[in-house]
Structure 1
Amino acid sequence: MDDMELEDIAKALVAPSKGILAADESTGTIKKRLDTINTPSTEETRRDYRELLLSSKGAGDYISGVILYDETIRQTAKDGRPLTELIKSQGIIPGIKVDMGAKSLAFSEGELVTEGLDGLRDRLNDYHKIGARFAKWRAVISIGDGAPSQYCIDTNAHALARYAALCQEAGLVPIVEPEVLMDGDHNIDECYAVTETTLKTVFDELYKQRVVLEQMLLKPNMVISGKDCPEQAGVEEVATKTLYCFEQTVPAAVPGIVFLSGGQTEQQATEHLNAMNKMGKFPWEISYSFGRALQASALAAWQGKPENVEAAQAAFLHRAKLTSAARDGEYSADME
């Protein structure tokens, strides 16, 4: 794993039957998750929860890589091993979230730009030494009253491309994540139009900044109805429109598309992924990089109690197995 070429790492992350676990919730976000099970968010409880997921026996059958947060990648497991070593012992590749979050975009009320380019080169070199072999940067695009502006899309695409180039220079595979949010009452066709424009802009910037497409992965949203849209598109429509959009915008050189779940339930995200993989062969692998859609059942089973660790791990592995089946187009609802 340590001496793999970037192209090999990218391919390994989208190997058949496998996908990525996003466990890179910021301290604020993980606190919200732990609040739902009445567990205080401390450095120890955050470590215990992530260790529970990462030490589940057999996780490596379904999980190719895990995206960590800065705190987590530096932590040690209960047995004293660095968490990165625990992850590698399962045959899973450690990765790291490197952006500093979305902040208000100047002169564009309500729109956001992701920050974190300052000092990024040094941070990437540091993460590589700690054991990370890929990284992630998320840009946030909202659909709403007059939004998104092309200015917002351009600014975020430029930052994503600069991040990706610095990753490749540091020996890390960049996961490029332009997320068009589900929040809002827009329909699936509005989501399609914004996603298409965003992806075209992102790949234009990646080209300008000399990013090697064979050495990166794309982590996008699915083309889906807004959460508050009265008419929700069905599974087949989501799969068809998502794939058509990506055929128009994503170069064949990109090894894989690892979809985010972005506010969908575990089952919704799994059904959509499965429907896409049933639609035949595409130039890129179609996989997953799910956070909540891999973790919700495990979190609910754990409840912050040591005696529930085994039950939580069983829930996590069950969900990972179903998501893996969807990755191969072999999922059905009766497997739930």
Structure 2
Amino acid sequence: MTEGLDAVAYRMCAGGKGLLAADESTSTIKKRFDAIGVESTFENRRDYREMLFRSDEAMKDYISGVILFDETIRQNAQDGTPLVKLIEAAGSIPGIKVDEGAKPQAGFPGETVTEGLDGLDGRLKDYYALGARFAKWRAVIDIGAGIPSYGSILANAQALARYAALCQANDIVPIVEPEVLMDGAHDIDTCYHVTEWVLKEVFQQLYYSRIRLEGMVLKPNMVVSGMTCPRQASVAEVAEKTVRLLKNCVPSAVPGIAFLSGGQSDEEATAHLDAMIRHGGLPWNLTFSYGRALQAAPQKAWSGKAENVAAGQAAFTHRARMNHLAALGQWSEAIEQKQAA
């Protein structure tokens, strides 16, 4: 069992390939569709995701796995082919989001704890039968006046560990995602210290829950300035501090770290990843697990019109290739502009 987990976890993050986070809930994708003037119907959501999964170059060469939402893992393409089979046919691994969202944490004003542990064992068995070989659970940590608190960090770390244990018991690789949000006016050093606190606690709880580190993937935030901070850190500073933090917090047994973009622009997320890879001497594979940073451009190019499918696929392939190059330390602004032209 563990060898299978290890192999899947390694494949998710190796060779410059990364993960497509296509696990937006129905309410979240409605917001994305509203922004491009597309009605969020069952058919439109299917057609959009089918467009992505049929992007041959992107899926075969740059994407190692796809995180799906419950609706999507059960959906068929227009021709009746399960969407999971499209992902598998491209050599990519289907995955599934299993948490039920961050909810207000009782007794901790302004803080949340992610729910979804009830019944998770049974749901994981169902998802495995549907083709999922990895899962995702997102914990959300906000920085603000007097927060985060240790009580909130501990509750979220324990939930991540319990989720990870259930995943591994069901032959599913857990993506452990503790996200320290970019929202706020805090500086990059505050982000560093909070993220360090969070990661130290998460790995302590993973140890207590007897998680096999070789059979998991970490999905953390990068160390960045808050969105409204007057001084935005440079690409070089983000890369240096993120790599230093990870070396201090993440055991080398973890096969891969797949970053979330967390509200960064497309090119920012790509540039930061590339700069981190160029540090060299890293004990784990670093790659991407992006949602908006991979999808904003294809959503706009597609805009819900069948005649725009090729344009949407081209936009997706471009962004996927740029992040593939970044995960190999081979991206540059010149390549970005040339390929976009």
TM-score interval (norm. to shorter)? over 0.9
- The 5 A counterparts of 1:263-302 are 263-302=263-302
- The 5 A counterparts of 1:102-141 are 102-141=102-141
Identity over the aligned pairs, expressed in percent? 60
How many Å separate the matches in 1 of 2:142 and 2:96? 24
Structure 1 residue aligned with 2:308: 308
How many Å separate the matches in 2 of 1:112 and 1:284? 30
Structure 2 residue aligned with 1:46: 45
- The 5 A counterparts of 1:16-55 are 16-55=15-54
Structure 1 residue aligned with 2:245: 245
Q: Deviations over 1:40-79 (max 9, x none)?
A: 0011111111111111012220000000000000000111
TM-score (norm: length of structure 2):
0.97
Query: How far did residue 4 of structure 1 move?
Result: 7.5
Structure 1 residue aligned with 2:71: 71
TM-score (norm: length of structure 1):
0.99
RMSD: 1.1
Q: Deviations over 1:133-190 (max 9, x none)?
A: 0000000000000110000000000000000000000010000000000000000000
Query: Contact 2:184/2:226 (CA < 8 Å) preserved in 1?
Result: yes
1:56 equivalent to 2:55? Answer yes
For 1:39, the aligned partner's letter is V
How many Å separate the matches in 2 of 1:114 and 1:244? 28
Query: Contact 2:2/2:215 (CA < 8 Å) preserved in 1?
Result: no
Counterparts in 2 of 1:314 and 1:66: CA distance versus 1, 3 Å: same
Q: Which runs of 4+ in 1 moved over 2 A?
A: none
Query: How far did residue 281 of structure 1 move?
Result: 2.2
How many Å separate the matches in 2 of 1:73 and 1:94? 8
How many Å separate the matches in 2 of 1:239 and 1:190? 16
Q: What SS class does the counterpart of residue 5 from structure 1 fall into?
A: helix
For 2:34, the aligned partner's letter is D
How many Å separate the matches in 1 of 2:290 and 2:60? 15
Structure 1 residue aligned with 2:339: none
For 1:19, the aligned partner's letter is G
Counterparts in 2 of 1:4 and 1:204: CA distance versus 1, 3 Å: closer
For 1:134, the aligned partner's letter is F
Q: What SS class does the counterpart of residue 324 from structure 2 fall into?
A: helix
How many Å separate the matches in 1 of 2:5 and 2:138? 20
Counterparts in 2 of 1:4 and 1:85: CA distance versus 1, 3 Å: farther
Structure 2 residue aligned with 1:164: 164
How many Å separate the matches in 1 of 2:12 and 2:305? 32
Structure 2 runs not aligned, ≥5 long: 337-341
Structure 1 residue aligned with 2:150: 150
Query: Contact 2:188/2:233 (CA < 8 Å) preserved in 1?
Result: yes
Q: What SS class does the counterpart of residue 56 from structure 2 fall into?
A: coil
For 1:142, the aligned partner's letter is D
How many Å separate the matches in 1 of 2:199 and 2:127? 28
Structure 2 residue aligned with 1:182: 182
How many Å separate the matches in 2 of 1:23 and 1:316? 12
Query: How far did residue 3 of structure 1 move?
Result: 12
- The 5 A counterparts of 1:223-242 are 223-242=223-242
Query: Contact 2:221/2:260 (CA < 8 Å) preserved in 1?
Result: yes
